Every structure is written in C-alpha cells, then in structure tokens.
Amino acid sequence: METYKLLLFLAAVIIEGNAAMINLAGGPKSNYTFPKNFLFGVSTAAAQIEGAWNEDGKSESIWDHLIHTNPSFVKDGSNADVAADSYHLYKRDAEMVHELAVDIYRFSISWPRVLPTGLANYVNPLGIQYYKNLIDELIKYNITPMVTIYHWDLPQKLQDIGGWTNAHIVDYFTDYAKVLFDNFGDKVKYWVTFNEPMQTCLEGYGGTYRAPALNRHGVAEYLCTHNLLKAHASVYHLFDTNYRSLNGGKIGMSLDSNWAEPKTNTPSDREAAELYLRTHVGWYAHPVYSAEGNYPPELIKLVDEKSRLQNYTRSRLPKFTPEEVAFIKGTADFFGLNHYTTYLLSMADKEVGAIPSHENDVGIVRVQDPKWPSRSSSSWLKVVPFGFRRLLKWITKTYNNVPIIVTENGYADFSGIDDAARVSYYSHYLNALLHAIHEDHSNVHGYFAWSLMDNFEWDDGYVSRFGLYLVDFKSPNKTRTAKHSAKLYASVVTSRGLPPDYDPEDFTAFSGASLLMPTVLPLIPLYRLMV
Ligand code: PNW
C-alpha cells in the first residue's frame, strides 16, 4: 500500500516535471543546419580576462576602482587584478579559439590601457602593442577579430568628471575610437561600439549592481543613455565617413535582452510584455534601428507624465532635437544581441521600484516561473529556449529585418570539466536558433558563445563560471582545459548542425535540487493526505 502510494507520488512528480519541460523547447527535432556563411564565434571582455590591471602604463578603470575601494562588492571577495591573465596568455587564448574551429573571436579593448588619461593626448604604446599582438595571433590562425570598443571599463579619470553623464564624453569616446580605427582598422573587420549599454546606464548609474554603482535612479540612467547613444552615433559616422572606404568592415552595437513572455494570456499581461521589450531593449534599439528613430514613444510618454506629476521642472528624460534623431537613426550595420534568459511580465497594480526610477516610470512586474529549469550559479539564468526563438522573431519584425548577430549566449555553473548542463543549454539554444532561421526566417547571421573561458564574472567574482574552457585560477599559469561543452560547440561548428543524439525535450541535465524542489514542494501536502 505504502509503496503503491509512493510510486503514484513519484509518477506525479515526473509527469508534472515533464509537462513543465516539454513546451520549453525552441522547436522539435529536425535536420536543419546552419547556412554555409553563418558566422560562429566566442566572446570575452578585457576587464574579465586580461588582469595586469596596472601593468605597462594601464590606469584604473571604474571596475578596478569600485572593487579596490569596496572589496565586499564582489561576493567571493576576489578582484580582477590578475583574472585569467590574458594580458600574458593571449597566445594560448588564440590557440583555444582555433581549437573550437570558430570563424571569429569577439574581445574588448580596455580604454584605460590604450588611453591612460582617458583622453587622446597620450596613446600608450604598450597598450597598442598588446592588442596588435593579439590580433596578429588570431589572424595567424585565420580567425577574424571582432572588437568591442566599450565593455564597461571606463577610465576612472573620466568617471571623476561625471563619466557617461558628462556631455563631453561624446567627444572623448569618439577620440578613443579614432585611435582604435587608426591602429587596428586595417585588420579588424567587425566593430561593436557598446556592450549592453542598459547595464552601464540602468544598473551602473541608476543602480548599484554595476560600476560606477552611482544609484542616482530616475535621473542618471536617462542622462547616461542620452550621451551614450550620441557617442555611439558619432563613432558610427566617423567609421562610415573615414574608415569604411579604406578597410571595409561593419559596425554595430550589442544590446542585452531577455525575452518577455506575458504572465498569463490576458490583454493586460500581453501589453506588459510588449511594453517591457519597448522600454528596455527598445530604449536603445528604437533610436538606432527603428524607421522613426528617437526614444520609444511609450517611454517618452511615461517618463514625461511621471516627471510632471512628481513636480519636476522638466521631464527626467532628456530630449533629442530632430537633427539628433536623424544623426542617431540608422547608425548600425547589424543588431548585436546578448541573450541569456526569459521573464514573465504583468502590469503593476501599485507603484513599483524606487521613486523616481526607470522601473517606477515603466510600472510593470517581472518574475520567472519557478518550474523553469536552471541549477545555474547565476540565479536569474533560467533555461527557456523558446524565449530565444521568440525574441529573434520580435527583433526581426520590429526592426525591419535588421541583420542580427547573437554576440553573447551561454550558461553559468559552479565549475568542472564535465559540464552536462552547459552542453544541454547550448544544444537547446542552438536548436531554437535553427528553428528561428528556418521556420521563422529571423534574419540571424552569426552566433557567439559566452564565453571562451571562465573569467571574472563581475560581482559574482570567480564563483559563476561561463567558460567553454575551464580556468584553474589557483594555478600560477592559469591553466586552461577544454570542457565537454567546448567539444560540443566545436562539433556543431564543424558539422553545422546538432549531434544526432540531441533530444529537444530532454532537460534532465538541469534536474537537481533547484529544479525538483519547486515541483516537489507543492506535492508534499498531497502526499501527506494520501498516506
Ligand atoms: C553579460 N540579464 O551580462 C555581459 O556582457 C558579460 O560581461 C557577462 O559576463 C555575461 O553577460 C554573463 O553575465 C549580462 O539581464 C547582463 O539577463 C544582463 C543579463 C545577462 C547578462
């Protein structure tokens, strides 16, 4: 009797678990393959891998400064002073990219390494030489370099004078980009002006989660975005006018976006999900990629209205002049997308977030389904492949079939070579991508895995590991070893498709405490009633 009930209970758990899983897939099993000229790559960022934070003339970045002055900011008490030591180990890095058989490597250049004062009065020759060496090493293996001009490491000297809230940064950033185009433009064919500007402005200026952790919400995130979008456009025009004809090449921006799924199928939740996309990724994408340009009209209306009610003299959202709208519109050859996970959206029925803040201005509520698999070291990283597919379709439709390059996608765990969960994550997300390309005709031209190797994961330090290669941070030479996921990725790149044993409905790699607990917990009272 007891055994019978226990079996019933277990069956209920399995059925419940599976029911939750099945509809997560990005599409059924197929024989789809990636187009011949589809670009495969891997991504990293200077502040997360280089180390050598004060070597050979490099000055302090806002991340160095934040960590050094506030060591408890990083959960494991670590810092990025040495990180994966790529400043000295770049030859091994290039060899790893080569082992993965990918076409292209996306890395970022450290502004304070190249321009220690932040300004172009002094160009650090050793900084320039480091990136020349790295680029030549990549080209030796026939790997195309893609450079991110800004991946969060502003020179602290520029932060001291307001950073991205200082309108002069448009000129400073343009001068910096000119130094890069002059020195590397003959060999670098892909440029990304900004990595995830929303993280910089919303979390760094409006919050405390990213450097410079200013927390001046409601005002600073809008100022930061305003200057940053002008800086992006200015660098695009510099490239387009003076460098494109010399060297060819493409330039774009990488925006971070979750997929937003309505929490329930009501008109109000559907509106909340659309509003989330328009006021988050759209905050940056609408000015650059839409036919009209400018901030999304929804955001303008919300911030203007709230500001008026809150007794501000003028809207907290600065306005672009018609000339500025035209200057920013259309300033990208591709849409770089960084995507990791999905959220459920509904309208807020009361004030949300700090007052004032972007969150409060927008007024929607974002949660995740506890049944979604995860077990990731990054608690926000739920595995929802269908969200990736829907997001690609939304971007293709909303921004007039813009060419998309997925510049980041990946999964974090607590370490180990045998990384079955990461293997499963990549398989599911690449399956969703194949369906996006072949079924939905989403205009995707490339895909980069985040990340080539374990690295300094910002406030998570070295606890959260995103690498295809394991880095032994305790070893003096930061030994790098391929994980199982590196082999999976290399096989996808080489075969242009998923391995024959891939099963779109198998999410067991993510089962374990954090997956089963939310499924099992509500069933325990039921089980108690039965026995
Ligand atoms: C990106 N989200 O950040 C960054 O570009 C990388 O430097 C970072 O290491 C990586 O992803 C992993 O965290 C993210 O809102 C920012 O879901 C935001 C989100 C995800 C990643």
pLDDT of residue 23: 87
Q: Is the CB of 87 under 6 A from ligand 1?
A: no
Q: pLDDT > 70: what percent of the chain?
A: 92
Catalytic site includes residue 196: yes
Spatial CA neighbour of 465 closest among 123, 78, 3, 175: 78
519 found inside a domain: no
Q: Is residue 525 part of a domain?
A: no
Ligand 1 lined by 450 (C-beta under 6 Å): yes
CATH number at residue 329: 3.20.20.80
Distance (Å) from CA 410 to ligand 1 centroid: 9
- Using CA atoms, how far apart are residues 145 and 136, in angstroms rounded to an integer? 9
- Domain range for 31 is 2-510
Cα 522 to Cα 310, 512, 513, 530, distances in angstroms: 43, 16, 14, 14
Residue 307 lies in a domain: yes
Residue 520 lies in a domain: no
The least confident of 2-11, 217-226, 250-259, 291-300 is 2-11
Whether residue 82 is contained in a domain is answered as yes
For 20-66, how does the pLDDT look when each residue is reduced to its tens digit (9 = 90+)? Answer: 444 899 999 999 999 999 999 999 999 999 999 999 999 999 999 99
408 touches ligand 1 (CB under 6 Å): yes
Are residues 120 and 65 in contact, defined by beta-carbon separation less than 8 angstroms?
A: no
95 is catalytic: no
Strand partners, 61: 155
- Residue 517 falls within a domain, yes or no? no
In a domain? residue 482: yes
Task: Give the predicted TM-score (pTM) of the model.
Answer: 0.93
Query: For residues 494-503, b (16+ Cβ closer than 10 Å) or e, as one string?
Result: eeebbeeebe
Residue 516, domain member (yes or no): no
Give residue 67 CA to ligand 1 midpoint distance, Å. Answer: 18
Residues 222 and 317: their CA atoms lie apart, in Å, by: 6
User: What confidence tens digit (pLDDT) does each residue in 219-270 have?
Assistant: 999 999 999 999 999 999 999 999 999 999 999 999 999 999 999 999 999 9
Q: Is 199 near ligand 1, meaning CB less than 6 Å away?
A: yes
Number of structural domains, the chain? 1
Cα 107 to ligand 1 centre (Å): 15
